[in-house]
Structure 1
């Protein structure tokens, strides 16, 4: 009985540790300052700092899905690993270009935050930046 209880306590401690580390990493990597620290995104970061979006939207608010926590975690992990690979292994030093999957996430997040402004506007087949090209930074 003591052995089973000890194993249970060890597993519970391990699980809580993993959850704590994961949550800490998610919080840390959601900061806009983290995004610019390893990307060649200084220009986009500067334009964002000088936009109205700086008051209420950071990189993760626009570039990470918010439909569910698992999707958010997976996107952050896959995109993050892809960026690390591109910059360290491949040595790419040019700007990151938004991919189709990421463009959908960004567009969905524009609509999520600006839902009240979009009533009566047909968004079918269009992205927000088709009209609002430079917001909050150049695409």
Structure 2
């Protein structure tokens, strides 16, 4: 056989094996990033229950922000998504089986310490346009245009915005008649 024939056969076999393997892996990664999957772990269930009553699920716009939207890189960033998902999955399984009792507050602190403003700014892009909220605009300006040594994270101020123990968060847009997201499955 000629060298190019052998090379073509090897490339063809590689594609036939690699494509389904990659597709199944990607599908599994995305399916295990749903709120329902996250809630299947008893340690995380309180966070998912709190998320369901937050404005990231119940809001006037009808937008539902899932766990992976904040806690993982976007799936379009394939390598970063696979790495982060694999790392957190392995870490969580090891902690579940080998560590002592789950410390929810310690886990929350660790998650917030790892948060990057880019995670929030994937959706919240126009932070400086708040004509009726001068204080909020000035606070956001100190994050967007932070001076060296004075950097802030979104979660410094918005600490309990999503994973709160307060029940339905009563922000201005939900004060009158809270919007309840449709189609969410019960945990």
TM-score range, shorter chain: 0.7 to 0.9
What's the offset of the Cα at 1:111?
2.0
What residue number does 2:91 align with?
82
Residues 37-56 of structure 1: pairs in structure 2 closer than 5 A: 37-54=40-57, 55-56=63-64
Which has the higher mean CA deviation after the structures are superposed, 46-55 or 73-82? Answer: 46-55
Larger helix proportion of the pair:
1
What's the offset of the Cα at 1:79?
1.0
What residue number does 2:156 align with?
130
Residues 34-73 of structure 1: pairs in structure 2 closer than 5 A: 34-54=37-57, 55-66=63-74, 68-73=77-82
1:25-81 Cα deviation digits (max 9, x unpaired)? 122122111112125122221111011212321110001123822112101110110
Aligned residues: 137
What residue number does 1:29 align with?
32
- The DSSP-based 3-state class of the residue aligned with 1:11 is helix
| Distance in 2 (alpha carbons) for counterparts of 1:7 and 1:57 | 43
Give TM-score scaled by structure 1 length: 0.80
What residue number does 2:103 align with?
94
What residue number does 1:115 align with?
125
Query: Which has the larger Rg?
Result: 2
Give TM-score scaled by structure 2 length: 0.62
What residue number does 2:22 align with?
19
Kept in 2: contact 1:111–1:118 (CA 8 A): no
What are structure 1's unaligned runs of at least 5 residues?
A: none
| Distance in 2 (alpha carbons) for counterparts of 1:16 and 1:39 | 34
| Distance in 1 (alpha carbons) for counterparts of 2:92 and 2:64 | 25
What are structure 2's unaligned runs of at least 5 residues?
A: 58-62, 130-136, 166-187
Task: State the superposition RMSD in angstroms.
Answer: 2.7
What's the offset of the Cα at 1:117?
2.6
Q: Alpha carbons of 1:101 and 1:133: their partners in 2 closer, same or farther (altered >3 Å)?
A: closer
